[in-house]
Amino acid sequence: MKAHDGMYIDGAWRDADGRDAIDVVNPADGQVIGQVPAGTALDVDTAVRAARAALPGWSATPPAERAARLSALRDVLVARKDEIAETITAELGSPLKFSQAVHAAAPIAVASSYAELAATYAFEEKVGNSVVHHEPIGVVGAITPWNYPLHQIVAKVAPALAAGCTIVLKPAEDTPLTAQLFAEAVHEAGVPAGVFNLVTGLGPVAGQALAEHPGVDLVSFTGSTAVGRRIGAAAGAAVKRVALELGGKSANVILPSADLAKAVNVGVANVMSNSGQTCSAWTRMLVHRDQYDEAVALAAEAAAKYGDRIGPLVNAKQQERVRGYIEKGVAEGARLVAGGPEAPREEGCYVSPTVFADVTEDMTIAQEEIFGPVLSILRYDDEEEALRIANGTVYGLAGAVWAGDEAEAVAFARRMDTGQVDINGGRFNPLAPFGGYKQSGVGRELGLHGLTEYLQTKSLQF
């Protein structure tokens, strides 16, 4: 893997301020595959200054030209998609096929959607005797996690570029090579110097410096609720805009009229995908008591098939954390029907696909985000109880409802406190707003709603 030993600032790779470096480790075998510089507050400051200096030019660039740069960026991502997939497999551990089909393909779709939105969005509208201009918010500080390393970068950078904002990105320390590859793509796409800048580094150092920098107008953060809360507090104190995409504990509600086998199988696949490291994963399956035993048997059988198909977790710390949750589930009285806390292999950060039955609402594994391949199956007596359980966590990011009749599923979905619901296995839509109710976050990403996060309005009266 190619690694740059500098920061991409003001259109070029520049020496980092300090000498500290971060090892990039392949979680499938523990091998160090590269090193990137650990940025300091000075690196962040240099990058923010470059972004600020580039802002007047980029914000005044006609939307059609910004759209052309985004199309060029999409084309570079397409041309380099194999390299992207291989890089993500090497630093995240996801199986290559999944990296190709999801990690490389989704950002291409998102970049494409913003190329189109930049070209077609009405940045000016007439409201009575006013003309309302939708202007870029300014300099964006983007902080991203490792679980969908490129998707989460593109979900922030593409709308910010479309809006006319300039950006400083601080990617996750586990997946910085993907971020460096993205910086190369931005450069190749002809985005002017200073419009996009990359500072690699540790969260509490470079991330915090970026979140607190007075030259940043909007902080867009994706990651844990704990860090998001701190970033939100700092942004509030500075009266600056903030967008937070945080954790989830989404419910997969299987109503009695549903096709049970399909709902269970798709539900298990959803949780195991990306080794369970998906913020929107349906980690709680809710089944009517009359169908409960059948659903548990189906889920255990489905999970067993994933044994060799999922990759490791991202690092040893996450592996330990997830195994700790599995032990806690057992200790609190849940019944293991697949997997368990033992590591399935000696090498690599693997966790067995795990399914718990007899999970009750008050258990830790029913409330906290595990971020691993662990499914909890809960029992409900009637629809009202199902709704209460579904809405009974601090989170509200995603969810699913299955029913024989689509209208029945929709009626239930409308009562769920959550930002997205897939009806009878509805597919991921890269244009639909993505984001959380309650403690899953503030703001929305993707599509038109994702674009408006990066805009502010100015009304001129005539």
Distances (CA, A) of 185 to 22, 111, 134, 221, 343: 22, 12, 28, 22, 38
Tell me how far apart the alpha carbons of residues 246 and 11 are, in angstroms, rounded to a whole number. 31
Active site residue 279: yes
Q: Which amino acid is at 87?
A: T
Q: Which stretch binds ligand NAD (CB under 6 A): 96-104, 219-227, 286-294, 415-423?
A: 219-227
DSSP letter (8 states) at residue 102: I
Residue among 279, 349, 408, 445 flagged as catalytic: 279
Reading the block at residue 310, the tokens are 């999922």
Say how many CA atoms lie within 13 Å of 225 toward its Cβ.
18
Q: Which of 100, 113, 222, 354 binds ligand NAD (CB under 6 A)?
A: 222
> What residue has token string 């983007």?
142
Residues within window 343-372 making contact with ligand NAD, judged by CB under 6 A: 369, 371
Q: How many residues bind ligand NAD (CB under 6 A)?
A: 28
Tell me how far apart the alpha carbons of residues 352 and 373 are, in angstroms, rounded to a whole number. 7
Residue nearest to ligand NAD (CB): 203
Verify binding: residue 393, ligand NAD, rule CB under 6 A.
no
Verify binding: residue 232, ligand NAD, rule CB under 6 A.
no
Strands 354-359 vs 335-338: parallel, antiparallel or unpaired: antiparallel
> What residue has token string 């915090």?
208
Reading the block at residue 321, the tokens are 């954390």
Residues within window 55-114 making contact with ligand NAD, judged by CB under 6 A: none
Instruction: State in angstroms the smallest separation of the CB of 371 from ligand NAD.
Output: 5
Q: Which of 91, 173, 217, 408 binds ligand NAD (CB under 6 A)?
A: 173
Q: Which of 264, 279, 374, 387 binds ligand NAD (CB under 6 A)?
A: 279
Residues within window 438-457 making contact with ligand NAD, judged by CB under 6 A: 441
Verify binding: residue 43, ligand NAD, rule CB under 6 A.
no
Sheet architecture: strand order including 124-127? 124-127, 130-136, 455-461
Tell me how far apart the alpha carbons of residues 89 and 421 are, in angstroms, rounded to a whole number. 29
Verify binding: residue 275, ligand NAD, rule CB under 6 A.
no
Active site residue 368: no
Q: Choose between 166 and 283: whose C-beta lies nearer to ligand NAD.
A: 283
Verify binding: residue 10, ligand NAD, rule CB under 6 A.
no
Residues of this chain that bind ligand NAD (CB under 6 A): 143-147, 170-173, 203-204, 207-208, 211, 222-224, 227, 230-231, 245-247, 279, 369, 371, 397, 441
